[in-house]
Amino acid sequence: MGFVAWWYAWTHALLYMSPYVYSAIGIAISIGVSVLGASWGIYVTGSSLIGAAIKAPRITSKNLISVIFCEAVAIYGVIVAIILQTKLEAAKQPFHPDSMRAGYSLFTSGIIVGFANLLCGLCVGLIGSSCALSDAQNSTLFVKILVIEIFGSALGLFGVIVGIIMSSQATWPAAVVA
C-alpha cells in the first residue's frame, strides 16, 4: 500500500478508488454524452426541417448544414475520447499520488468535453430548427440565422480546448526501481 493514510478526512474514501475507475468513466462520458448532445440537436433540427419543408421543399438541401453542425459535436467527442484513451496507460504504481492525479485529470477532461458538447449540440439544434422554420417563410433569413448557429457551435470548441489542456496533466509515474 503506498498512499498517505488520511484517516480523519472524508476525502479518504476517494483515495480508495483506483485511477482506472476515474479514467474509464471519464473517457466513456466524453464520447457518450457528446453523442447524446449531437443526437438531441439532430432530432430537434431534423423534425422542424422536415415539417417546414412540406410547404417549402426548397429549404431541405441548404438547411442540412444545421444537421452537420450538430454532427460535428459528436466528432469532437470521438476525437477527444481517442486522445484520452491514448493517455491511459498501464500504471506501474497504481496508487501513487501522480497516478491518482492522472486519473482525476482524465475524468474531468471527459466530463468537460462531454457536457460542453451536450450543451452545444442542444443549442445548435434549437437554433437550426428556428433557422429552417424562418427560412421556409423568408429565404433571406437563412444566412443571418446561420451566424447565430456559429456562435452556438463555439461552445463545443471551448470544451475541447479545455479538455485537451487538462489531459496534458495525465502523466503517469514510472515504475519503481527496485
Partner 1 sequence: MSTAAVFNGDEVAPFFGFIGAAAALVFSCMGAAYGTAKSGVGVASMGVMRPELVMKSIVPVVMAGVLGIYGLIIAVIISTGINPKSKAYYVFDGYAHLSSGLSCGLAGLSAGMAIGIVGDAGVRANAQQPKLFVGMILILIFAEALALYGLIVGIILSSRAGQSRAD
Q: Is residue 155 involved in binding partner 1 (CB under 8 A)?
A: yes
96 three-class SS:
coil
**Distance from C-alpha of 92 to C-alpha of 1, rounded to nearest angstrom:** 13
Tell me, rounded to whole angstroms, the distance of Cα 117 from its chain centroid.
4
What's the number of CA atoms in the CB half-sphere (13 Å) around residue 12?
A: 8
Question: Which residue in 53, 75, 83, 101 binds partner 1 (CB under 8 A)?
Answer: 101
Residue 11 near partner 1 by CB under 8 A? yes
Instruction: Show the cell assigned to 8.
Output: 480523519
126 is a site residue for partner 1 (CB under 8 A):
yes
By C-beta, is 71 or 98 nearer to partner 1?
A: 98
Which amino acid appears at position 85 of this protein?
Q
CA–CA distance, 122 with 128 (Å, rounded to integer): 10
For partner 1, the binding residues (CB under 8 A) are: 2-4, 6, 9, 11-12, 14-15, 93, 96-98, 100-101, 104-105, 107-108, 111-112, 115-116, 119-120, 122-123, 126-127, 130-131, 133-134, 137-138, 140-141, 144-145, 147-149, 151-152, 154-155, 158-159, 161-162, 165-166, 169, 173, 176
